[in-house]
């Protein structure tokens, strides 16, 4: 029984962190003038990877490193999908939800931002949440 309580608490924590990350990303996007330009360029993509990591963590019990690899692959796939230019997906990308989820243009620097965000989320999970115990 104790195992289920820990699992539920951890799942709730992951969802809470993902929600806070979404809020932080939207705040940065709305209040761009409060932050340095270079921060505005890369923070959104790094936070996207953080959010994805914790959302996936809330629904799976995979090993931490495997989750990080999956998230990085998904983020990279989304970024590379921006090279695919057809009318229907471009129409989706021009909406706010489409732009937030699918992005709008391929940039190599976004790949670095995703790697940094994924690494950050992995280490937060490993050091503060999982405490080096491995996936349960």
Each residue's pLDDT tens digit, 81-102: 999 989 999 999 999 888 878 8
Residue 2: how many CA atoms within 13 Å on its side-chain side? 0
CB atoms within 10 A of CB 57: 27
Q: What is the pLDDT of residues 64-73, one digit of tens each?
A: 999 999 999 9
Residue that the structure tokens 């979404």 belong to: 22
Q: What is the pLDDT of residues 24-63, one digit of tens each?
A: 999 998 998 898 888 988 999 999 999 999 999 999 988 9
**pLDDT at residue 117 above 90?**
yes
Q: Give pTM, 2 decimals.
A: 0.86
- Give me the pLDDT at residue 92, please: 92
DSSP string, 64-84: HHHHHHHHHHHHHHHHHHTT-
CA 89 to chain centre: 21
SS3 92: helix
Residue 135 — pLDDT band, cuts 50, 70, 90?
A: low
In terms of Cβ atoms closer than 10 Å to its own Cβ (0-12, 13-18, 19+), residue 8 is exposed
In terms of Cβ atoms closer than 10 Å to its own Cβ (0-12, 13-18, 19+), residue 131 is exposed
For residues 56 and 70, what is the distance between their CA atoms, to the nearest angstrom?
9
Residue 104 — pLDDT band, cuts 50, 70, 90?
A: confident
CA 76 to chain centre: 11
């Amino acid at each position: 029984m104790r195992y289920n309580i820990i699992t539920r608490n951890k799942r709730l924590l992951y969802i809470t962190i993902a929600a806070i990350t979404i809020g932080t990303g939207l705040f940065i996007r709305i209040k761009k003038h409060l932050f340095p330009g270079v921060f505005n360029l890369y923070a959104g993509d790094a936070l996207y990877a953080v959010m994805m990591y914790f959302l996936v963590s809330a629904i799976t019990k995979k090993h931490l490193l495997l989750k990080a690899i999956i998230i990085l692959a998904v983020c990279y796939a989304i970024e590379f999908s921006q090279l695919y230019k057809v009318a229907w997906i471009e129409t989706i990308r021009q909406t706010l939800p489409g732009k937030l989820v699918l992005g709008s243009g391929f940039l190599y620097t976004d790949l670095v931002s995703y790697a940094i965000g994924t690494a950050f989320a992995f280490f937060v999970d490993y050091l503060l949440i999982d405490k080096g115990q491995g996936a349960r």
